[in-house]
Structure 1
Amino acid sequence: MRSQSREKYLELIREYLKVKPDFIVNKDNIKKDLITIGATEEEIETVYNEFSPFYKIKFLKNIFTIKFLIIFLVSMLFLAEIVFYYQWVDKKMNSSGKNIVIEKIKTVFKKEETAIPKIYATGVKIDVEKTFSSPSKNTTLPIKGTPKKEVFGFFPYWMLEKSDYVNTDAITTLALFALETDAKGNIITNYADGKQDGGWNMWNSKKLDIFIKDLKKKTIKVVLTIKAFNNNNIEKLVLSDEAQKNFISNALFLIKTKSLDGINLDFEYIGTPNPKVRDEFSRFITNLYIKMKQEEPNSTLTIDTYIHSAAALRLFDLGVLQSQSDGFVIMGYDFHTPSGSAGPVAPFEGELSITTLMGPYLDKVSKDKLILALPFYGYDWPVSGGESSRSLSYAEIMGMVNNNNVSWDSMSQTPFLKYESGGIERILYFENIKSLGIKYDYVNKKDIKGIGIWALGYDGLNNDLEQLIIEKFGK
């Protein structure tokens, strides 16, 4: 029996073929398009057998006659004329509106882009004390080794005080999250209210220097994340040569100061910029990349992108940026957030899912530059209004659940928990070793560069997620 998510793919394939009158003679190209957005060959063949007039032949093989054959051939010639006509019309229309699946993706995200920010997790702290006070599963690590793929872990500044307890044995790169740039390319140290920036506070901590030293001993690369979450600041920065030069100078100075291995850019632009902003952003990245390679040849530059960035052209011109960077860290999470309705944080399958939205990436970008970042956290919503939603770390969630009360969403391939607290019915969507294992298998199957983690330390005193990484990617 097919899952509901796979039935959805069959429906999308049917819709696609309905507007493709040349689906018989152009099967190879259409098949390639459908596989790109997540359909399987078996599903494509199933629908083709439903649509194609040729499939009926096998039911009629016992009644073929010369008369029937002549009628059939005449019919095929007539059909060929129709196909030729529709190909001509399709060419005239420049194939406008034909790609149903991609258009659906764009439509859904266009509706949501002004309602909620695409990424919620990077701006919200979890409860660090609860995370490291939650009981662990006391899982041992029977499998030792180092990952054969890139394991890129974000280390948010609010985890610094617990850095001694953070699991880092299964990662290859740690990104210090984060310092923030303003519109002039300067690093923000204090805000208007006089409060010091959390990332800047971490940067100047002696504890960070000790932490970096320990990571280097483990041959773990350490990079600095520089973020910009304000559209206005991003536009002013990339449109000003002076601001670009200032940013590049500051970025290089920072990584040299602590002997870091590179820069990770987290520019979370919301919506669609005008073409000039997009082009200038690409030029900005090119200038930064060239300067980094000149002054620090072994340094790396990675760019954080939205999971839908390859399906809809916005700030990131992936075709240009892939040759001017060392890779993309794709934020494969926050499909649903506390700012909106309840649902899976990182659905693997479904109409809008990791599988669907990774397809355009695989079609446009070299797979050795793709890092799929996944969540070590969950979101908890009240079923009815009146109560607040919240973010919970993996460790906190494991302290709440057991094998008896966790449900499984077959559509998204993720777990969820329904429970009652203080008389309020709530629902919690999260990731566990089963759902993450499915995604890790996908990474191996597609042979992309590796995985990312938001965020290191969110597993608290547990080490089952670390063990899973070694099992899936260990040498």
Structure 2
Amino acid sequence: MFQGALVTLISLALYFSSLLGGEMPPARRSALPPASQVAESDADSSLGVVTGNVVVVYDAIGSRKSIAELRRGDYVEILKRDGSWYQVRLSSGEVGYVTAFTVMPANRQFPERQTPYTVLGYYVSDSRLPSLPSLRANDDVLTAISPWTWEVTAAGDLVASFDTQDIGAALRYAGERGLRTYALIHNTALDTKGRGNFSSALAHQLLSNPTARRRLVHNILEVLKDWGMSGVHIDFEMVRPSDRDHLNAFVRELYEVLHPVGFEVTIAVPSKTRELPNDSWSGAFDYAFLSRYADQIMLMTYDEHWSGGTPGPIASISWVEDVIRYALSAGVPRHKIILGIANYGYDWPRYGEGRAVTYQTAMNIAERYSVPVLWDSQAKVPYIRYGDGRQIWFENRQSLSYKLELVQKYQLGGISLWRLGQEDPGSWNVIRDMLGSP
């Protein structure tokens, strides 16, 4: 799925003072991407093609007054470049401004990607563990990225939660190579200790309020139009089972607004092997209903064992297959199922809570303690024992290959990798060999 069609790329010109809602404030010029992110050769072409699904033309730079909306494939005349904006002339003769990431000179168009599988990478701005190097090294096999971008408020507003320079570079790079881009919308909030966690209270306040839901749908639509993205990825977690109908209503309302104008709707859902309507983790997620109003369903097939529980596989092969079977039995079309792949592990002490680790951290610990990487032949996952009873369970290229066999066996839509920058580098050749490069 998600084949073809150029993807556009975000214009960070519209940061909206970090807050989006209702009548949105003017763009802050301080949040514009550096002019160097717009290729100098762009200015030499007078004919431009729109690469965003829907692109807004403004009467002036930074203005919120729209004079027209363009669709992917429309042509405009590029008159000049002004920083991160193009001044363009429309077929009607009107002159306006579009962000430079949403229009590409016609002589620089990229071919459409043709691949039977989605390979989506979640992208996070993190200077300590950047995602950009992984994106650049593997753009031949990736088909889409979903950057961690906006958090919601109870009123239905959107608050930017990302590094504008990093996300701007990533999305322009992705778009130049024909990858699709999805704005990731999440319900995290600061807890009493100042840590960002998924909030059931926030989700309830938002989803149970029809006015707030409508406001959020409007704001998501405006974000996608202004930034020229392919669609939205909803990552609401810890939603209360009592909010199941409210979540269904929101996704339906979102789909009914976005789909008619060409935007895609995708959603991450907790893994489950049977229906548990009162379960605090998965009870709110109605697989069958959500799949009717989403282009893709990302199964979060990881955290079978989590940091706060007992040590064990992050995603044993039998458990992953059980989740797939349940999703299919619940009525999710197989081509809409995207299998979640963990690019991380947990390091558990003998007693107490574990901590998240990357593949490379696990390898470094094995080397430091001179211990082997062990293999659980039943779960088809690696693990390490070291120190005073510590255990690390994680994922690597070998465990990935077994999961990709399930993608092939059940003819699923593809995979989503949480997240770029944490993975075993050897995983990419496994993906190339088993799912094929676009």
Per the normalisation by structure 1, the TM-score is 0.60
The percentage of aligned residue pairs carrying the same residue is: 25
1:159 and 1:471 mapped to 2: Cα distance? 31
Q: How does 1:94-109 map to 2 (within 5 A)?
A: none
2:373 and 2:419 mapped to 1: Cα distance? 23
Q: CA deviation at 1:266?
A: 0.6
Residues 1:305 and 2:269 are matched in the alignment: yes
Q: Which residue of structure 2 lines up, in the alignment, with residue 406 of structure 1?
A: 373
2:381 and 2:129 mapped to 1: Cα distance? 31
Q: CA deviation at 1:260?
A: 0.8
DSSP 3-state at the match of 1:174: strand
DSSP 3-state at the match of 1:225: strand
Q: Which residue of structure 1 lines up, in the alignment, with residue 150 of structure 2?
A: 179
Residues 1:357 and 2:354 are matched in the alignment: no
Q: Which residue of structure 1 lines up, in the alignment, with residue 211 of structure 2?
A: 242
Q: Which residue of structure 2 lines up, in the alignment, with residue 338 of structure 1?
A: 307
2:308 and 2:422 mapped to 1: Cα distance? 21
Residues 1:150 and 2:118 are matched in the alignment: yes
**Relative to 1, partners in 2 of residues 1:164 and 1:331: Cα closer, same or farther, differing over 3 Å?**
closer
CA deviations over 1:406-448 (Å, ceiling 9, x no partner):
111123121111112xxx3311001111111001011111001
Q: Which has the larger radius of gyration?
A: 1
**Relative to 1, partners in 2 of residues 1:146 and 1:419: Cα closer, same or farther, differing over 3 Å?**
farther
CA deviations over 1:307-363 (Å, ceiling 9, x no partner):
1176334212222221111011000001112212111111112xxx11222211111
Q: CA deviation at 1:473?
A: 0.3
DSSP 3-state at the match of 2:126: helix
Residues 1:469 and 2:431 are matched in the alignment: yes
1:245 and 1:208 mapped to 2: Cα distance? 27
Q: Is the 8 A contact 2:235 2:268 kept in 1?
A: yes
Question: Cα RMSD between the aligned structures?
Answer: 2.3
Q: Which residue of structure 2 lines up, in the alignment, with residue 397 of structure 1?
A: 362
2:304 and 2:393 mapped to 1: Cα distance? 11
Q: How does 1:271-310 map to 2 (within 5 A)?
A: 272-273=241-242, 277-294=243-260, 296-297=261-262, 299-308=263-272
Does 151-160 or 222-231 show the bigger shift?
151-160
Residues 1:230 and 2:199 are matched in the alignment: yes
Residues 1:326 and 2:325 are matched in the alignment: no
Residues 1:435 and 2:399 are matched in the alignment: yes
Q: CA deviation at 1:383?
A: 2.1
The residue type equivalent to 1:474 in the other structure is G
The structure with the greater share of residues assigned to strand is 2
Q: Which residue of structure 1 lines up, in the alignment, with residue 76 of structure 2?
A: none
**Relative to 1, partners in 2 of residues 1:146 and 1:440: Cα closer, same or farther, differing over 3 Å?**
farther
**Relative to 1, partners in 2 of residues 1:214 and 1:317: Cα closer, same or farther, differing over 3 Å?**
same
The residue type equivalent to 1:222 in the other structure is T
1:287 and 1:469 mapped to 2: Cα distance? 35
Aligned counterpart for 2:235 among listed residues 266, 274, 281 = 266
Q: How does 1:368-383 map to 2 (within 5 A)?
A: 368-383=335-350
Residues 1:366 and 2:328 are matched in the alignment: no
Q: Is the 8 A contact 1:159 1:457 kept in 2?
A: no
Q: Is the 8 A contact 2:129 2:422 kept in 1?
A: no
Q: Is the 8 A contact 1:309 1:316 kept in 2?
A: no
2:312 and 2:361 mapped to 1: Cα distance? 19
CA deviations over 1:71-115 (Å, ceiling 9, x no partner):
xxxxxxxxxxxxxxxxxxxxxxxxxxxxxxxxxxxxxxxxxxxxx
Q: CA deviation at 1:186?
A: 1.2
Q: CA deviation at 1:162?
A: 3.3
Q: CA deviation at 1:146?
A: 7.8
Q: Is the 8 A contact 1:153 1:454 kept in 2?
A: yes
Q: Is the 8 A contact 1:154 1:453 kept in 2?
A: yes
Q: Which has the higher contact order (CA 8 A, sep 6+)?
A: 1
The residue type equivalent to 1:288 in the other structure is L
**Relative to 1, partners in 2 of residues 1:163 and 1:418: Cα closer, same or farther, differing over 3 Å?**
closer
Structure 1 spans left out of the alignment, 5+ residues: 1-144, 190-198
DSSP 3-state at the match of 1:265: strand
Q: Is the 8 A contact 1:185 1:247 kept in 2?
A: yes
1:262 and 1:160 mapped to 2: Cα distance? 28
Per the normalisation by structure 2, the TM-score is 0.65
1:371 and 1:263 mapped to 2: Cα distance? 15
Aligned counterpart for 1:425 among listed residues 386, 389, 407 = 389
Q: Is the 8 A contact 1:408 1:415 kept in 2?
A: yes
The residue type equivalent to 2:185 in the other structure is I
The residue type equivalent to 1:369 in the other structure is K
**Relative to 1, partners in 2 of residues 1:335 and 1:178: Cα closer, same or farther, differing over 3 Å?**
farther
Q: Which residue of structure 2 lines up, in the alignment, with residue 76 of structure 1?
A: none
CA deviations over 1:39-85 (Å, ceiling 9, x no partner):
xxxxxxxxxxxxxxxxxxxxxxxxxxxxxxxxxxxxxxxxxxxxxxx
DSSP 3-state at the match of 2:168: helix
1:238 and 1:346 mapped to 2: Cα distance? 30
Q: Is the 8 A contact 1:147 1:470 kept in 2?
A: no
1:472 and 1:325 mapped to 2: Cα distance? 26
Q: CA deviation at 1:160?
A: 9.0
1:234 and 1:164 mapped to 2: Cα distance? 30
2:114 and 2:385 mapped to 1: Cα distance? 37
1:187 and 1:309 mapped to 2: Cα distance? 33
Q: Is the 8 A contact 1:149 1:449 kept in 2?
A: yes
